[in-house]
Chains A and B, each alone.
Chain A
Amino acid sequence: MEKATVVVIGGGATGVGILRDLAMRGVDVLLLEKRDMVNGTSSRYHGLLHSGARYAVKDQEAARECIEENSILRKIGKSCVEATEGLFIRLPEDDVDFEGKWVDGCKKSGITAIPITPQEAWQLEPNLSHQIIAAYRVPDAAIDGFRMAWQNIDSAVRYGGRVKTYTEVIRIVSENGKVIGVDVRNYFTKQTYFIACEFVVNAAGPWSGQIAALAGLDVNVQPDKGTLIAFNQRISSRIVNRLHVPSDGDIFVPHGSITILGTTSMSVKDPEDTSSSFTEIESLLQIGEKTFENLRKYRVLRAFAGSRPLYSASGGKGRGASRGFVILDHAEDGLQGLMTITGGKFTTYRLMAEKMTDIVCQKLQVTTPCRTAEEPLVQEVTEAVKMKARKYFPAYGTELAADRLGSERFQRVVERLEKNPEERQLICECENVTLAEIEEVIKEGTSFTVSDIRRKTRMGMGTCQGNFCSLRSVGILSRNESIAQKQQSLQQLQDFLQARWKGIRPVLWGNALREAEMTRGIYGVGLNVNGGSPK
Chain B
Amino acid sequence: MIKSDVIVIGAGFAGLMAAAVSAKRGKKVTLITYGSGTFPLNSGLIDIMAMPINETICATPIDGIEALPEAHPYKKIGTDIVANAVGFFKELCEQENYPYSGSIDKHQWVVTALGTMKPTCLVPKTMLGDICLKQEELILIGFNRLKDHYINIMEENLQQSLGKNKIYTSIMVDADIDAGRDLSALDIARWLNTEQGYECCLKQLRGVVKANSVVILPQVLGIKPDYAIWDKMKKDLQCEILETTGLPPAANGLRLRSMLLSYLKKHNVTMVENAKVIGSTVENQKCLAITTQNAARERKYQADHFILATGGFYGGGLQMETFPIIKEPIFNIPVQFTGQDEAWANEKLFSSQKQPFAEVGVLTDDKLHPLDGAGNCFLNNVFVVGRNLSGYDFCFEQSGNGVALVSAYQAAMSF
Which residue numbers of A lie inside 8 Å of B, CB to CB? Answer: 277-279, 282, 296, 422, 424-427, 435, 468, 471-472, 474-476, 478-479, 484, 488-490, 493-494, 497-498, 500-501, 505, 508-510, 513-514, 516-535
Contacts and interface: CB of A to CB of B under 8 A. Distances in A.
Interface string B216-229: 00000000000000
B116 A490 contact: yes
Nearest to B181: A426
B357 A508 contact: yes
B296 interface: no
Closest 8 CB pairs of A and B: A475-B150, A501-B349, A528-B118, A517-B314, A524-B395, A520-B395, A278-B341, A533-B161
Contact of B157 (A277, A472, A490, A509): A490
A77 to B, nearest CB: 33
Interface string B109-142: 1001110111100000000001001000000000
A498 B114 contact: no
Interface stretch (B38-46, B62-70, B90-98): B38-46
Interface string B357-378: 1100000000000000000000
Which of A476, A490, A517 has the most B CB atoms < 10 Å from its CB?
A517
B43 A517 contact: no
Given A526-B245, A527-B114, A521 B342 contact: no
Given A468-B247, A508-B345, A527-B114, A426 B182 contact: yes
B314 A528 contact: no
A425 B145 contact: yes
Given A508-B357, A517-B312, A525-B400, A479 B152 contact: yes
A532 B57 contact: yes
Given A278-B341, A475-B150, A497-B350, A529 B355 contact: no
A435 B147 contact: yes
Contact of A518 (B144, B314, B321, B323): B314
Contacts of A505: 345, 347, 349
Interface in B364-408: 394-396, 398, 400
Nearest to A278: B341
Contacts of B331: none
A41 to B, nearest CB: 23
B246 interface: yes
A520 B313 CA distance: 12
A127 B97 CA distance: 58
Interface of B: 38, 41-43, 47, 55, 57, 107, 109, 112-114, 116-119, 130, 133, 144-145, 147-150, 152-153, 156-157, 160-163, 182, 245-248, 250, 312-314, 316, 320-323, 341-342, 344-345, 347-350, 355, 357-358, 394-396, 398, 400
Nearest to B147: A425
Contacts of B245: 526-528
Nearest to A468: B247
A468 B184 CA distance: 12
A493 to B, nearest CB: 7
A494 B350 contact: yes
A513 B323 CA distance: 10
B320 A509 contact: yes
Contact of B182 (A425, A478, A484, A516): A425
B357 A513 contact: yes
Contacts of A524: 350, 395-396
A54 B403 CA distance: 56
A488 B182 CA distance: 27
Nearest to A521: B41
A431 to B, nearest CB: 15
Given A528-B116, A531-B160, A533-B161, A478 B314 contact: no
Given A517-B314, A521-B42, A422 B144 contact: yes
A509 B153 CA distance: 33
A531 B314 contact: no
Nearest to A532: B117
Contacts of B42: 521, 525-526
A526 B321 contact: no
24 contacts: A278-B341, A279-B341, A279-B342, A427-B147, A468-B148, A472-B148, A478-B152, A478-B156, A484-B152, A489-B153, A501-B349, A508-B345, A509-B320, A509-B323, A513-B320, A516-B345, A521-B41, A521-B314, A528-B118, A530-B350, A532-B57, A534-B130, A534-B133, A535-B163
A525 B395 contact: yes
B51 to A, nearest CB: 10
A494 B313 CA distance: 23
B49 to A, nearest CB: 13
A524 B42 CA distance: 11
A508 B247 contact: no
Given A479-B152, A490-B160, A532-B118, 14 more contacts: A279-B341, A424-B182, A425-B145, A475-B150, A475-B152, A493-B114, A494-B350, A508-B323, A516-B345, A516-B357, A521-B395, A526-B112, A530-B116, A534-B161
B58 to A, nearest CB: 12
B157 A531 contact: yes
A7 B321 CA distance: 51
A487 B248 CA distance: 26
Looking at B55, B57, B357, the one whose CB has the most chain A CB atoms below 10 A away is: B357
Contacts of B119: 532, 534
B344 A478 contact: no
A427 B119 CA distance: 29
Contacts of A278: 323, 341-342, 344
- Indicate the member of B152, B163, B245 with the most A CB atoms within 10 Å: B152
Nearest to B346: A505
A260 B65 CA distance: 46
A528 B57 contact: no
A483 to B, nearest CB: 11
Given A425-B145, A520-B355, A526-B246, A533 B162 contact: yes
A276 B163 CA distance: 41
A510 B320 CA distance: 5
Contacts of B341: 278-279, 282
A533 B109 CA distance: 8
Most chain A CB within 10 A, of B117, B133, B247, B322, is at B247
B322 A296 contact: yes
B347 A517 contact: no
Contacts of A525: 42, 47, 394-395, 398, 400
Contacts of A508: 323, 344-345, 357
Contacts of B316: 514
A424 B179 CA distance: 13
Contacts of B323: 278, 282, 508-509
A532 to B, nearest CB: 5
B314 A514 contact: yes
Contacts of B113: 471, 526-527
Contacts of B133: 534
A527 B116 contact: yes
B144 A471 contact: no
Contacts of A427: 147
Contacts of A424: 182
Nearest to B396: A524
Contact of A471 (B162, B247, B321, B348): B247
Given A520-B358, A522-B248, A474 B349 contact: no
A484 B159 CA distance: 14
Contacts of A489: 114, 152-153, 156-157
B32 to A, nearest CB: 21
Contacts of B41: 518, 521-522, 526
Contacts of B313: 513-514, 516-517
B320 A472 contact: no
Contact of B349 (A519, A527, A531): A519
Contacts of A527: 112-114, 116, 118, 245, 247
B38 A521 contact: yes
A521 B247 CA distance: 10
A153 B157 CA distance: 36
A472 B42 CA distance: 18
